[in-house]
A and B are shown apart, each in its own frame.
Chain A
Amino acid sequence: MEEHNPFSDTTSFKRSKHNVRQEITAVGEDKPLFPGASSSYTEKLKFLGGDVYDPIPVYRVMNKMGSIIDPSQDPGLDQAFVEKMYKSMTKLNAMDKIMYESQRQGRISFYMTSYGEEGTHIGSAAALDDKDIIYGQYREGGVLLWRDFPLEKMMNQCYGNNEDAGKGRQMPVHYGSKEHSFAAISSPLATQMPHAAGAAFALKRAGLDICTVCYFGDGAASEGDAHAALNFAATLDAPCIFFCRNNGYAISTPTSEQYRGDGIACRGPAYGITSIRVDGNDVFAVYNATKSAREIAVTESKPVLIEAMTYRIGHHSTSDDSSAYRSVDEVKYWDKEDHPIGRLRNYMLSKDWWDVDREKAWMVEVKKEVMQKFQAAEKLKKPSPQYMLTDVFDKPSKRLSQQAEELKKHVQQYKEHYPTDKFDEL
């Protein structure tokens, strides 16, 4: 093996204890020797039900008023750090409002807000190393904002303009950035979960002390790929954090129609995965859990599952009217009584780190910034239609080159029937 290659360091590879067969020691010893499980015998006929243990508790650090409940759990973050958390959450919120409205006005084709889940994004992102690679679902824009992904890049993606790194090919909110270690989002649910496990395995082999983080919703957790990912990560000892946003709904489907077990967290131990359930509206609880999970993943080369309990305050997307399947009062409770932004604001106010004037000034500033970037993105042209036919492969096949020629000739001939004025030249 070549010495200089980071992937050549295989010493960190640990054998899973699950692969070690139980040794048959003494004949007649009254212990089951089946290879499939390490267990004991019982002479009582007893099935295990869903009520075999109490539900996994929800870990929290501060109450709804923003007071730390147990000082030993206070992460002790300094003012600047907490302010960045608050500003990232509110920036995401401000962007959501403007982008949602712009979709209503027909200026972008689609949008998905993160209302109520800002705490899960920021609390987790803040606890990670910025090099940890994110494999997200679609409602994790806050992770990018925490990593200082520029607002204009988000707007460019939503508009699919000629500054969009994705060349306008995907629907809005399908962000991606190599620089910010955030793999491009795709629409098929849960497909990113085994990716995160595989990437984590490769990073471990490379001897890099970073992990992968996979975000997914409670609905996506029902996909076969979720099962695949958890089992692969466990058996192959992949340093991967599975972060479930359990917000109560998958579009219109409530969790009561999604599963009958104790949420998602209880599935972790069944796969041999260290698991925890946290209050997703408590940014410090999310931070603490993610920080510890990262430590386990990186130092022990093991996956960890975090289930963050939260509530999807907004509609599923701009194509959804959630009043068709849930009450306005239910939504109002979470928006007014138990919101991650409100809770952190209370904490900052109690510390004298924030006040009404700063709140007002910041809101004006952030709204102005979003509007500026938004208008700038709207003014830009779309990329040249030639980019419709590139990047299918690393180099165009003969057939794709022919099709590019055909497109060019056709559009030149029938120019007036195509929106060529809105696009860069073909």
Chain B
Amino acid sequence: MAALRRTLQSLCRISREKSSTLRRLPSQNAAIVCRNASAWTFVPDSPPDTLGETTKMNLFQSLTSAMDIALSTDQTAVIFGEDVAFGGVFRCTVGLADKYGKDRVFNTPLCEQGIVGFGIGMASVGATAIAEIQFADYIYPAFDQIVNEAAKFRYRSGNVFDVGGLTIRAPWGAVGHGALYHSQSPEAFFSHVPGIKVVIPRSPIQAKGLLLSCIRDKNPCIFFEPKVLYRAAVEQVPVGDYMIPLEEAEVLVEGSDVTLVAWGTQLHVMHEVARLAQEKLGVSCEVIDLKTIVPWDAETVCKSVKKTGRLLVAHEAPITGGFAGEVAATVQAECFLHLEAPIQRVCGYDTPFPHIFEPFYLPDKWRCLEAVKKMINF
């Protein structure tokens, strides 16, 4: 299985291929991900001036930068998992073992429940443990350790013990041809678990700041990394130490007619939906990046829906039991008198994630645009 997994490291390289149909780009840096109807462009953010010097980084480089800073500022911090010592199958830990030593960046046996359990143990005595699960699809063997142990460690001991120093990183989401076990988005499973935080970034700048927040947060965190963005997403990232707050959503594009909520890769699809809705329907969309799945920022979302009166939530994961359901139910309860159309959820179908059918499976911009149309015409 390890060998099979390793071959997958090349998966995200396809994201650099360019599509001839989408050459009208707002920025030279923008990368196009080619997945037929599910194609979208990555539009870089401008780094805030306050964070100082920047350099061009893709997503995996910005994660390495975050971990480099975490290790240099906290002597108790260690990174471990399957194949992290040579740099990781996605290159996220390149150079760190050489820089910090084999007792701080090391391989573990191939056993996910062991990786998370080991990390919990380290954190239980006050160390900072950054554990890597090679693909989010393989986090389930550690589900018991995450749900019954990490999440409940503080509560069950009356705050006498905690494992706040634990962060679990895992590559996440669709990648073009990852099929059933290299494409999953398992955040909703964890959203039902009080005691852990689940965070998903959309870009290199966000990834670095959010990962550093997770590592330094006093609670166990799961940090899902959209693997299709590892190489595809490139932008100017501050080289210094900075953090982006957890539990806060961000309004990326202001609009007045429809609120679009997403996270991770899907955020970039939403950007295009907003552009298409404006061009084709004359509809003004407000785009929100949720960033933290739990505990989520209902306030920012509800405030937006009270203004627009319409909400579309989209995610790659299957619709039934997906996190969009939680967002929709909360917004319905909080914004009932403001809603002008039923809340729309555009998500993966209730099937396992397929190989050759991926372009038909994903909640692409055309499916999302259709949902916007429906809401406007309701």
Contacts and interface: CB of A to CB of B under 8 A. Distances in A.
A392 B193 CA distance: 10
B144 A191 contact: yes
Interface in B143-174: 144-145, 148-149, 152-162, 164
B121 A228 contact: no
A10 to B, nearest CB: 5
Interface string A220-255: 000011011101100110000000000000000000
Contact of B154 (A212, A393, A397): A393
Contacts of B160: 165-166, 176-178, 184
Contacts of B148: 186, 188, 191
A315 interface: no
A258 interface: no
B75 A1 contact: yes
Contacts of B108: 232, 235-236
A193 interface: yes
A360 B116 CA distance: 50
Contact of B127 (A2, A167, A205): A205
B interface bracket (residues with beta carbon within 8 Å of A): 35 or more
A391 interface: yes
A228 B194 contact: no
B298 A392 contact: no
A391 B159 contact: yes
B260 interface: no
A194 B156 contact: no
Given A205-B103, A232-B118, A199 B124 contact: yes
A311 interface: no
A8 interface: yes
A399 to B, nearest CB: 6
A174 interface: yes
Contacts, number: 170
A5 B126 CA distance: 13
A387 B299 CA distance: 25
Contacts of B26: none
B101 interface: yes
Q: Bin the interface of chain A by size.
A: 35 or more
Contacts of B104: 10
Contact of B117 (A7, A170, A198, A205): A198
Contacts of A390: 159
A199 B129 CA distance: 11
Contacts of A398: 247, 295, 297-299
Contact of B195 (A193, A199, A200, A392): A392
A169 interface: yes
Given A7-B127, A392-B194, A196 B121 contact: yes
Interface string B14-43: 000000000000000000000000000000
Interface in B85-133: 101-104, 106, 108-109, 111, 113-114, 116-127, 129
Interface string A1-34: 1100101101001010000000000000000000
B78 interface: yes
B76 interface: yes
Contacts of A228: 109, 111, 113-114, 117-118
B154 A392 contact: yes
Contact of B149 (A5, A13, A174, A195): A195
A133 interface: yes
Contacts of B106: 236
B299 A191 contact: no
A357 interface: no
A156 B76 CA distance: 35
B218 interface: yes
Nearest to A230: B114
B75 A2 contact: yes
Interface of B: 75-76, 78, 101-104, 106, 108-109, 111, 113-114, 116-127, 129, 141, 144-145, 148-149, 152-162, 164, 194-195, 197, 218-219, 247, 295, 297-299
Interface of A: 1-2, 5, 7-8, 10, 13, 15, 133, 135, 164-167, 169-170, 174, 176-178, 183-184, 186, 188, 191, 193-203, 205-206, 212, 224-225, 227-229, 231-232, 235-236, 390-394, 397-400
5 contacts: A2-B75, A5-B76, A194-B118, A198-B117, A394-B164
Given A194-B121, A199-B125, A391-B158, 8 more contacts: A7-B76, A184-B161, A227-B111, A228-B114, A231-B111, A392-B194, A393-B154, A398-B247
3 tightest CB-CB pairs across the interface, nearest first? A198-B121, A194-B117, A228-B114
